[in-house]
Amino acid sequence: MSLILSNGTIYQAHQIIQDGHIWLENGRIKAISAEPFQQISPDTRVIDVKGKIISPGFIDLHIYGGGGVSVLDADSASVETVLHTHAQYGTTGMLVSTVTAEIPLLHRALWAVNEAAQKSPAQTKGAKVLGVHLESCFLAPERRGAHKLEWLQTPSVELFQPLQDSSGGRIKLMTIAPELPGAAELIEYAWLQGVVASFGHSAADYDTATYWIRKGMHICTHLFNAMNGFSHRAPGGAGAFLTEQSAMVQIIPDGVHVHPAGLELAYQAKGPNKICLVTDALLPAGTGIKAFYFFDRLVNVTDRACFLPDGTLAGSRLTMNRAVQLFVEYTSATLQEALHMASLNPAKAIGLDQQKGSLEVGKDADVLVLDQDLNVQLALVEGTVVAGSL
């Protein structure tokens, strides 16, 4: 398909083009211009988007469910529903995430993800599976959050590699508490496999976290949550990731997981190039569901977040367009910067920024047309329409 989106506000990482034009062909971005294209083949379709926002597709590194289903339903149809649901809100690529569960269930869930990932966006009408985020098992008991204590495991290559095999080699990101026995060996092994190890659900102190950042652990899972918080005498893992310039952070900008002042603090400390917005979304995302069962525990759902009966946070119901909107509302970041945090930064975090994450000639045609409230009018994944219509 050859398609030109004309007269839109094109948000690139380095500039904003008013009344710009972007040409998509054969699944890639062919050209971007401030002026209308002069030589167009007869089979090229031109759509006037009438001043709407043209943005890179969003990439979510942390997502468990949506549309009323969960990845841990462990069937490919549920995974496809998650992909389709979040595409309606601008997510064109995602790391499908797993929570801690019994090992046989994790294997079944990873098989299902691998099966769904082999389908094209045209078949699923959804986001592309960019890999798996394994947020399972290798967590500090005292920082486990909503993860069940009895299902936590000692980190080991012997446990990890069969999970990687079940995923078809798709585990790209692994949340792990580096202070646990066996963690150092597993992290080193994962790095050799091309897996990004993410600091998270950790009770490590500032010095330990800093050591691992400088060793190469360049990202953390949901900053401030499930880690030692910042104190002026004990900066903790949060302090390490806020102050180490090379480190990136995931952050959930729902205003519940992190207070708006905490979001602004992160923005001031890390700037627009080191923050990855994530949803941490569970099955209520994209639905009106008010309560559901997380294994055997009832979870209550507010307009933004999910809670266990004891008040423990258990994920969110965010979608990525709303995450961008809230980050702009709560902080001094610009829309251009927030879009950057939802697209190019996540792509960089998992080594896909040469193909995805920004509107540049030659990159994949993962493109959104958004109205001024960031509602998705059109979403394309590698040139295939997955939300809205032409």
Give the catalytic positions in this structure: 280
CA atoms 194, 132, 305, 386: torsion sign: positive
Whole-angstrom CA distances from 303 to 226, 285, 292, 297, 317 are 22, 10, 14, 19, 7
In angstroms and rounded to an integer, the radius of gyration of the C-alpha atoms of the chain is: 20
Neighbour tally for 125: CB within 10 Å: 18
Contacts of 27 (CB under 8 A, 6+ apart): 364, 365, 382, 383, 384
User: What contacts 193, CB < 8 A, 6 or more positions away?
Assistant: 164
Question: How do beta strands 28-33 and 16-25 pair?
Answer: antiparallel
What is the β-pairing status of strands 313-316 and 305-307?
antiparallel
- Main-chain phi, psi angles of 134, to 5 degrees: -90, 95
Q: Is the C-alpha dihedral spanning 279, 282, 287, 289 positive or negative?
A: negative
Cα–Cα dist 385/365, whole Å: 10
At 175, phi and psi to the nearest 5? -80, 130
Q: Is residue 226 a contact partner of residue 202, using CB atoms and an 8 Å limit?
A: yes
Whether the Cβ atoms of residue 342 and residue 296 lie closer than 8 Å to each other? no
Positive/negative CA dihedral, 135, 136, 139, 143: positive
